[in-house]
Chains A and B, each alone.
Chain A
Amino acid sequence: MPDVQTLVNEFVNQLKKRKIEGSQATAKLTAELLRSVISQQRVPHTNQATALIIAVRAVGEQLIAANPVELAVGNIVRRVLHIIREEDLSLATAAMAGLGVSAASDDEDDVERDENSALSAAAVAAAARSTLRPPSLQTLLEDTSESAVAPHTSSSGGESDGRSRSVEKGSRSRKLKHDVIEAVNELIQDICTCYEQIAEQAVEHIHHNEVILTLGSSKTVLEFLYAAKEKQRSFKVFVAEGAPRYQGHILAKELAARGLQTTIITDSAVFAMISRVNMVIVGAHAVMSNGGVIAPVGLNMVALAAQRHAVPFVVLAGSHKLCPLYPHNPEVLLNELRSPSELLDFGEFSDCMDSANGTGSLHVVNPTFDYVPPKLVSLFITDTGGHNPSYMYRLIADYYSADDLVVKRRPTTVSCV
């Protein structure tokens, strides 16, 4: 197996050169890289979670710096950090529970914990979460009884942790790493299958004889529309071509090949066509905590047109696109200006850009993204179902730890458990 650092460097390099495109691909690669970082990280006997977190953070910092515009990188780093914390927590509680229930011998312990952990780990996790941030809707509904016990368990967790470690050092260190890797594998699985999970919901949203409008190309949208078609819905799709990269053409080709009734329109014709449209379904680059969307350029215009004609504006986003940051956060560079050559031919206009003879007055700006404010979005569809924009921050809080929002900051005190 190659050295992790070389892998990291290679990935950083690719990110820097903008060789990896698409948030799904980036997310998957990031998760895979972090998985190998974790698996190669040697954990000490004490405080293993801290060691893992520091290692992941160090790598994550580099990755985020390499391409700050690709928010999926940061999302995955934070997700992995969150996973480590959760696993550590569940192990700690399990260990404690094991001690409490039966002062059993070491070899039995593993079995016991597996049985007990499911319930108690969730409880402790919930308790810990409640101390760190406002409780999520789920936890509020789940545990009313244990909330009282929570402070006690979490405070005693520290002591018992130390005690338990001495008892079952070896097994636990292996266990934590193993669990984390398992969880990261699940995450990778989730990223890979997010299309399917989103697409499953298609039938609930697309009905007979509807007209759907989309812009640019998104794999998620493609699968979503196709899933609806598979379920014998007959509907029409308008595809706005998505200048300047014209990825709408690719989408239209694909849709037509799969037998959907497809019409291509220019971006500027969106307003003219919107009155015939029943629903706008688009993909996103990232979804921010406030429910705002960072999406391919031109979408804000589409959203405004949709609002004007009261057409639902639906955004499809896999969970890896949910970003715990707010768009006013200075860490979020909202945009990336790409090469002007996507807009026009350098040769044709080269005389207008000749600064030497005073005609160098032509400037070309080619932004990649638009920001669609939350009030223009009607519905988000993620792997877990449909959500209102105002609920996004809650949903996002389920995926991330508050401690990890700023990855860059060097952890002075790490509060695991």
Chain B
Amino acid sequence: MGVQKKNASRVSEDPDELVRVPLQAILLADSFTTKFRPITLERPKVLLPLVNVPMINYTLTWLESAGVEEVFVFCCSHSKQVVNYLEKSEWFSQPNFTVTTIESQNSVSAGDALRLIYERNVVHGDFVLISGDTLSNMSLTQALKEHKERKKKDSNAVMTMVIKRSKANPAIHQSRLGTDELFMAIDPNTKQLLYYEDKADHSKGTLHLDKSLHVDNPSLTLHHDKQDCYIDICSPEVLSLFTDNFDYQHLRRHFVKGLLVDDIMGYKIFVHEIHSDYAARIDNFRSYDTVSKDIIHRWTYPLVPDVMNFANTAMKLERQGMYRASEISQSQSAVVGPFTVIGSDTKIGNNTKITNSVIGEGCKIGSNVVIEGCYIWNNIVIEDGCKLQHAIVCDGVIIKSGAVLEPGIILSFKVVVGPEFVVPPYSKVSLLQKPIEEDSDEELEYADSTSAIGSQVDKSDVEIVSQVDNTHFSPVSELGMGGAGHVWSTCEGGHEEEWRHSVAPIPKDKILEAIKTMEDDMELIHDGSFLPTSGELKPNSNDSDDDDLEDSRDDSYYFEKEVEATFLRAVHENIQESHLILEINSLKLSYNKLTADCAGAVFYAMMKYALDSPHNSADGLLQNVQVVFTKWKKVLRSYLTDIDEQIEVILKFEEMCSEYAKEFAPLFTKILHHLYNEDVVDEDAILSWEDEKKDADEADKVFVKQAQKLIQWLKEAPEEDDDE
């Protein structure tokens, strides 16, 4: 569907472009995470109701009121549901506001999404990049102006990130949105972002900043009380950057950090701080809770229930933050407490108490029910005497009489909780089984099969129904008599973190515990007995300058390993030399190595390969070496532009012979000669190597002595040349 529309719009815009490019936005209707599972197995995150309105509505409303004229909604998992929803809503028929959907089934990350959008070639100017779970009431005018001005002065200023002040909880290193504490270094004058770290290692209590940051920037401020709003104003270059760097997946972890570390291209990211406006992204259940409360407390004005009514029934605000739809039936004896939202057609029975909760539409709540801090979506039946605390209850759930939900529970769609059943805290219950592939590796979190499962569910509601039936018939299920649903087991690693991201308040004991450990850490630091940090931050933070030797040695070790693996792959898979060179170059960039290091590593890899190939004698080995070099010398030679690099190769060879490949020791001279013949090293290199070794220990001179003959010959050789 997109093709025709796209062409049409492009034609109409082209003449326009010189005059004024309409402000465009890319809305990612997929978070590419699994944090909202099990709910997101059945419904995309952007359609989950936030204070009774699907999240995407908040985002679109904001974009529209902020003056964005064209929005591309990128749908991935459950794309059909998103598209259907948008078609039914009014968004496609707004004047001066075009919403276009882009569907994709095989994108697994924000990076993929942006690459796809780049291919479509629909974005022509600066655009706003936002995900469908972000809500804000900020005015874009100022931020856009700043972005454009910077862009004019410096074409490398490709992105402006919106940040907002928000204090993190010092004890558990977590923001109020449930995300990890974020560290940012910002140049206070230019507002350039210099450092971004959201996965800082708190156990050490230290943070590494590259020394060059201080050198390049006369002043910088380090913040830990800023919150990333995930609203970015980007130049079109951002899309091409994603296409160039095909390994960029995550917007922050790869793209932002990548740009910050990479000083070759010199792209810069700036921040724009908002003060009186509100912006937040719903990243996990904790932020769902926090943002809901912020909406009820009207920080998001005018995006509040009584003002922003989406075609459905109007809400009215009463005293103490009570929002009530017009058609509800509530028993006289029911107590509906402060900061509660009640949707239309909901019935509330006698003596029921509801506080700090959001109740959706068409719910039936029985008598003597206690609901505290819960998010109850639409068409839910809660029978008499139930007790619910800090839970999220999705559409169509039935909670039989007397059941108790402990804090932090997620009940996914159409789950049935049996009578008198007590659901343990932090349970996640769904009609669907937990997907089997459970990769605890955090990096893979977004890359696993969300989309696959999504499409499967999309296709077959029937399947779910049949599953429902199956569970229905077993008299005693996991959720008591007549219950339906599977309690997802939490793996050990996950359980620890469960309280951090759930809707329930953080248990007191956890905070005390955290404070205690923090104090212990402090003591450790005062003792001075804590260990120097290992290279955990290494691959990202490029701080080899100020680190101890061990670190950089580690680093080189990994680099060598990588190069070796790459080389072997090239050999076995018969990859072209030019491709191999390209890959090694990218490794060089990512490890921030010099050409000399590459030369050494490639040489090492080649020798290692020769050594590992079958041979029965020293001659055989020499033969191997010769074969390898004839075939691959081109690769090596591309790193040997300089005499220093050639020396590095010789030194490397020497090191190999003396340390871990002693088989080469007797062949040292022969191979060196061969290298000379193959033009890998030239005589200047060999001579200056010898020169360098002059003052070395006797032990180090073994190979120099061994090669004395060759050196002698080399020294005489020019004269011979002259003679001839």
B-contacting residues of A (Cβ < 8 Å)? 6, 9-10, 16-19, 65, 333, 337-342, 345-348, 350-351, 353-358, 360, 363-364, 366
Contact = CB atoms under 8 A, between A and B. Distances in A.
B307 A18 contact: yes
A355 B298 contact: no
B384 interface: no
Contact of A347 (B164, B289, B302, B373): B164
B290 A356 contact: yes
Nearest to B314: A65
B165 A347 contact: yes
A350 B166 contact: yes
A368 to B, nearest CB: 10
B169 A348 contact: no
Contact of A339 (B166, B176, B298, B511): B298
A339 B171 CA distance: 29
B176 A366 contact: no
B169 A356 contact: yes
Contacts of A339: 137, 276, 278, 298-301
Nearest to A67: B307
A357 B506 contact: yes
A353 B314 CA distance: 27
Interface string B498-515: 000000011010010000
B481 interface: no
A3 to B, nearest CB: 9
Contact of B307 (A16, A351, A353, A357): A16
Contacts of A342: 276
Chain A interface, DSSP helix/strand/loop, else mixed: helix
Interface in B64-115: 65, 95-96
Interface string B165-206: 111010110001010000000000000000000000000000
A17 B302 contact: yes
Contact of A356 (B65, B289, B339): B289
B293 A355 contact: yes
A356 B176 contact: yes
A277 B373 CA distance: 51
Interface residues on B, range: 35 or more
B317 to A, nearest CB: 6
Nearest to B62: A17
Given A337-B317, A340-B297, A357-B169, 5 more contacts: A17-B65, A18-B301, A338-B298, A341-B275, A347-B166
Contacts of A347: 164-167, 225, 275
B317 A341 contact: no
A355 B317 contact: no
Contacts of B307: 16, 18
A351 B178 CA distance: 13
A341 B314 contact: no
Contacts of B164: 346-347
A360 B298 contact: no
A354 B297 contact: no
B297 A346 contact: no
B260 to A, nearest CB: 24
Contacts of A350: 165-167, 176
Nearest to B511: A357
A324 to B, nearest CB: 22
B321 interface: yes
B43 interface: no
B302 A351 contact: no
A363 B297 contact: yes
Contacts of A356: 169, 176, 178, 286, 289-290, 505-506
A22 B148 CA distance: 32
B308 interface: yes
A351 B511 CA distance: 14
A110 B61 CA distance: 52
B17 interface: no
B277 interface: yes
Nearest to A345: B275
Contacts of B290: 354-356
A341 B278 contact: yes
Contacts of B316: 333
A241 B128 CA distance: 37
Task: List the 4 closest A-B pairs by CB distance, nearest first.
Answer: A347-B165, A339-B301, A354-B176, A351-B167
Contacts of A65: 314
27 contacts: A16-B302, A16-B308, A18-B301, A18-B307, A333-B316, A338-B298, A338-B301, A340-B297, A341-B278, A346-B275, A347-B165, A347-B166, A348-B165, A350-B165, A351-B167, A351-B169, A351-B176, A353-B176, A353-B293, A354-B169, A355-B293, A356-B506, A357-B169, A357-B505, A358-B505, A360-B505, A366-B298
A346 B505 contact: no
Nearest to A363: B297
B299 A10 contact: no
B225 A346 contact: no
A340 B299 contact: yes
A355 B505 contact: yes
B165 A355 contact: no
Contacts of A348: 165
B196 to A, nearest CB: 19
A66 to B, nearest CB: 9
Contacts of B172: 357
B299 A341 contact: yes
Contacts of A338: 298, 301
A360 B293 contact: yes
B544 to A, nearest CB: 35
Contacts of A358: 505-506, 508
Contacts of B225: 347
Contacts of A354: 169, 176, 290
A350 to B, nearest CB: 4
Nearest to A6: B95
Contacts of B275: 341, 345-347
A367 to B, nearest CB: 11
Nearest to A330: B316
Contacts of A346: 164-166, 275-276, 278, 299
B176 A364 contact: no
Nearest to B167: A351
Contacts of A337: 298, 301, 317
Nearest to A362: B297
A347 B165 CA distance: 4
Interface in B293-335: 293-294, 297-302, 307-308, 314, 316-317, 321
Contacts of A19: 65
Contacts of B314: 65
A318 B300 CA distance: 32
A6 B65 CA distance: 16
A358 B504 CA distance: 10
A311 to B, nearest CB: 32
